[in-house]
Amino acid sequence: MAASELFGQRGRLFAGILLCCLLAGMMVWAGTTTDDPLEHQYPTDVEVTPTPETYVGEQVVLGGQIVDTDPVVIATRASGYGRFLLVDANDQVQNVDGALETGDHVTVFGTLTDEEALVVEHGLTQNPDDRGYMFLVSILGGLLVAGRFLNGWRFDRKALAFVPRSKAGSRGNEDAKARSQLDGENEVDRNTQPTPNIKRGGR
């Protein structure tokens, strides 16, 4: 193996490892820097629901299902436990489907004014079907891209690189063509060889 080829393989391997490390680092960095109050480390309904009196006067994030719309009340537990009145929910909660309705899932950010009331500063509705649809489309798109890529490329373990499959196919076709041509030449040579004269002996 040539020194330049060996260096090229090591360079590609090093570049691949470096890119993976950079990707992981950017994912961690992106996950820790956000301006959305719903993504900050404020107390959530998991912490607030058991002891709401502890968080009165603090900014919290509550998520749950709307159980009443006049006024808007949510339950942070599926059993209906952990009910909070959402003040100004109709004005502050972003809902593309229109007015808030019973059964909608919401996540709200605001100040807990007492043990059962939250003044909403920002909020949004969440449709469970939307998340499933997003994951399904992402998976199908990834499989489609991977399939098209693998259909045209293959991984060469010796070169530590992806190479077009057409190269391997054309190389095999060239080899087969060369063998066929060589067989044809051999056949021509055999046909052009002089036939030895056979003398018949007399009695």
62 burial (CB, 10 Å; 0-12 / 13-18 / 19+) is: buried
Q: What is the pTM of this model?
A: 0.50
What are the DSSP calls for 106-123, one per residue? EEEEEEEEETTEEEEEEE
Look at phi and psi of residue 79 and say left if phi exceeds 0, alpha if psi is from -120 to 50, else beta: alpha
pLDDT tens digit sequence for 141-164: 889 988 888 888 888 777 777 788
Average of pLDDT values for 23-31?
75
Residue linked to tokens 């003040």: 87
DSSP element (H, E) containing 93: strand 93-94
Closest CA to 111 of 65, 170, 166, 52: 52
Backbone phi, then psi, for 123, in 5-degree steps? -170, 165
Tally of residues, the chain: 203
Closest CA to 143 of 154, 131, 133, 135: 135
pLDDT tens digit sequence for 106-124: 999 999 999 999 999 988 8
Average of pLDDT values for 76-101?
86
Helices (DSSP H) in the chain: which residue ranges?
A: 3-32, 45-48, 89-92, 128-152, 165-192
| Per-residue pLDDT, 73 | 94
| Per-residue pLDDT, 168 | 46
* Position 136, amino acid: L
| Per-residue pLDDT, 7 | 54
| Per-residue pLDDT, 68 | 93
Q: How far apart are CA 123 and CA 91, in angstroms?
A: 10
Q: Give CATH for domain 45-126.
A: 2.40.50.140
| Per-residue pLDDT, 167 | 53
DSSP element (H, E) containing 124: strand 117-126
pLDDT over 80 (residue 38): no
pLDDT tens digit sequence for 170-192: 555 555 666 666 666 656 556 56
pLDDT tens digit sequence for 42-62: 999 999 999 999 999 999 999
9 burial (CB, 10 Å; 0-12 / 13-18 / 19+) is: middle
Mean pLDDT over the full length of the chain: 78
Contact 86, 71 (CB under 8 A): yes
| Per-residue pLDDT, 203 | 45
pLDDT over 80 (residue 8): no
